A and B are shown apart, each in its own frame.
Chain A
Amino acid sequence: MKYVDEFRDPEQAQKLLENISVLAKQVQAGKDRPIHIMEVCGGHTHTIFRYGIKQMLPQEIELVHGPGCPVCVLPMGRVDDCVALAEHPEVILTTFGDAMRVPGSQKSLLQAKAEGADVRMVYSPTDALSIARKHPEKEVVFFALGFETTMPSTALTVLQAEDEGIKNFSLFCNHITIIPTIKAILDSPDLQLDGFLGPGHVSMIIGQHPYLFIADQYKRPLVIAGFEPLDILQSIWMILNQMKEKRHEIENQYGRVVQNEGNHNALKAIEKVFELREHFEWRGLGSIEHSGVRVREGYARYDAERKFSIPNLKIADPKSCQCGEVLKGTLKPKECKVFGTTCTPETPLGALMVSTEGACAAYYSYGRMDSFESKKEATT
C-alpha cells in the first residue's frame, strides 16, 4: 500500500538502528541510567510492540509508554454512567469497538449488551447519526471518546445533525486533550524523561505550536512522529541528535501528514461545538485541569449529560490495580502485581489491559520476548 510499505523497509530499519546505536552510546556516556523517551500516543505503543522495536533498540534507550490511549484512561465512573445510559429502554448506545470491553465497576458495555441493552458498535460517528435517522422513535447516544484526532469527526457529526434537524441524537462526551496531560507528566516530581515522540495524528489537527512550551520551559526535545516502524526509528534518531547537540526543539518527522498550523476546518468545528471543562478525571492520573471538553451550551440538545439523568459517581480504581504508576512510566507493566495473573486481555482488571493500544495489553501480546531473552542470557 502506498505511504505504508515504503516506511516498513527492513533493510532501511537495520541501517537506521545502527545509526541509533552509535548515537545512543555517545549521548548516554557518563549517565547512570538509560535514555528515557516517552511515546505519548497509544498508536505508537502498538507499532513499537507489533514490530518488536523495543527489542531492537540498544540497551542505552528505554521507551516509556505514555497516557495516549483514550480507552485506557477513562475512569470507571464514566463507564458506569455509559452503562446506565445504555440501560435506558429508549436508548440505542453507539460506540467504537475499543470502548465495548472497558470494565466499569459492575459491568462493561459488552456485558450490558448481553443482558439486553441495545449497544451497537460503529466505525464512525456518522454511522451513529444514520442509526438515529432510521430510528426516529429511539434516542441514539454516541459514546464519544478520543483525543483531538477524533474530536473533529464528532463535532462535525453534531453540526450535521443540527443541519438536518435530527433531534434524537446526542453525545456522551468523553473527549480529552493531550497538552495538559503532557504538562501534568512533566510536572510530576519523579519525572525521568529525556524526550518525547509526539502524537502524529493529534498533531495533524492541532499543529506544532501547542508543544512549544515543552522545548521552551521544560527543555525537552519532542519529535512529532508517524506510525510506521521507520517513522518511529527516524524520530528516535532525531531526538538523540538533538540531545547530542544539546538542543531541545519541536521537530516534525511526519511532514507528509502534519502541517505546522494543523487543520483549520477541523479546529473550527471543535471550537464551535466544544468547550474546555475545568477538570477531567483520568484513570490512574487523577483529575487534570482543562484536560477534557464538553458540549457547549448552544448545542445542549445534543448533550446526553444534559438530556438524561446520569449517576455521575466517582469510583476508585481497584486497589490491586497499578495502572496509574504504569501510565506515569514509574512502573513497567510486568512489574504490576496483577499483570498476567488476575489481569489479562480476556479478563482485564485495569484499563491498560483492555485496548490493544494499552501498554499492558501490548506487553502481554507481544512483549513476552523479554522474559525469553533474559532466560536465554541466564543460561548462556
Chain B
Amino acid sequence: MHEIMKKIMLTLLGVFVLAAGFCHAQRGQLAAGAARVDITPDEATLPKTSQGILDHCYARAIVFTNGTTKAAFVSMDAAMSNNRMVAAVNERAFKELGIPEGNILYNWTHTHSGSSVFGEELNNRVFQALKEANDRLVPAKVGYGDGVCYLNVKRDLFDPERGTWWEGPDYDGKSDKTVAVIYFESLDGKPIATYFNYAMHAVITGNTDKVSADFPGAAETYIESRYGDDFVACFASGAAGDQNPIYFQQTFDLRDIRIADYAARGEDISNAMPPGGQGLDRSKPEVQRLLGEQERMIRSYGQILGEEVKYVIMMMRRFETDVTLKCLHKTVSCPARRQLNGGGRAGYEGQYEDAGEATIDLHLTMLDDIPVVGTSGEPYNPIAVELKQKSPYARTMLTTLCQGTFTGYIPDDESYGAQSFEVLGSRFKQGYAQKAIVDGALDLIHEATHGE
C-alpha cells in the first residue's frame, strides 16, 4: 500500500512538474488591440510661461493575449514616470480588463516638452486607452524586425577646445543605431499597431516652451498616417541616457544666446541650465530662427525615423500567431552615492559620499521569442548593447524610463570618467548598476523560458 501510494504520488508530482513546464511555454492564439487617447492639457490651463501647444500628446496602448496571459504596452508622451498613475491604472486594469498588475509595461517617451492633464483625469485617460485597446482585441499575428537609423549620437564629449567634458556630438562615440520593431496585424492583414524602440533623447523642442511630443510624437503620428486611423504606433525610448539627436546645434546656440543675455544682466549661467527656454528673448530674429528650426527638426526626425520603422515592417516576412507570453518583474538594488559638490553642469570632478542602496525596477514582457526588457531610469547606451549581446534571443530590446519609479541616469561602468551632467548627477556608484541590469534582465529571460 505504502509503495503504491509512493508511486501514485511520484506520478502526480511528475504530471505537476510537466504541467508547470507547459505553463511556461503554453502557446495560444494571439489576439491584439490598440488605441490612443489624447492627454494634452487644455490650452487655458497651461502655465503663464507656456508658449502654447505645438502638437498633441497621447497615451498609447497595445493589449495582447495568448488566451492564457494578457499583457500590454503603454507609451506616454511625457517626460518622466508617474508612480501614482501607474498604481491607479494597474488596479483598474486588473479589475476591469483582467490584466494582472505587472503585466503592463509603461514607458515614457521622455519628451522634454510634453505636458498632460493630471491626477484622476490622467488616470482615466490612460485607462481609457487600455480599455479601448482591450475592446479591440482581435485574433492577430506578430512580426519582428530591426533596422538602423543614424540620427542619434553619443552626447558626452571631451571637448579639446574647452579642455574638459561638455555636452556635444561625439561622432566617434559608442552609439547603437538599432531600431527594433514589433508589429501586430489581424489575421486578415489589417494593421493594428507597432511598438518601436530607438535610443535617442527627446529634447529637440525643449527650448520652445510649447507642449510637444517632440520627435517621438512626430514619428508616431507619421507612421500612423500610413496605416490608417485605428493604427497605433508606440515609441519606446531605448538606452538613451547618453544619446542626443545628432543635429542639436539649435539648442547649444540658444544656450549661448541665453548665457550672453544673462551675463549682460550680471548673472552667470554658463555652467547651469535654466529650464526650457526660460529667459530667452523671443523677439530676437536669431532666437526665432533657431526655435523655428527646432520645430521643423522634429518633423524631419519624425519622418526619417518613421520611414525606417515602415521599411522594417514592410520587410517582415515571418509572423507568429500561436505564441507564448510571459511577464515578470523584479527590483534590483545597487550601492548608491550622493554628490557633495553639485551645481555645475559639466567639466569638474564630482565628490561623493555613500548613500545606501538605490533600486532599479526591471520588467520583462516575453512575447514568444521577443524579450522586451523594461527598466526604470535612463541607462547609458552600452548597457543595452551588452544585454543584447549576451541575450540568447536576437530580438532582445531594452526599453527605458519604464514603470513608475524615478531612478535617474545610469552610466555604464566605462563612462564614469566622463564629467558630464548625467554622470556627475548619477546616484549609482560605479561598478554595480550595469551588471545588475544586464544580469537581472538575463535572469528574467531565463526564468520566463526555463522556469525558476
Q: Does chain A bind chain B?
A: no
Chain B contact residues, CB within 8 Å of chain A: none
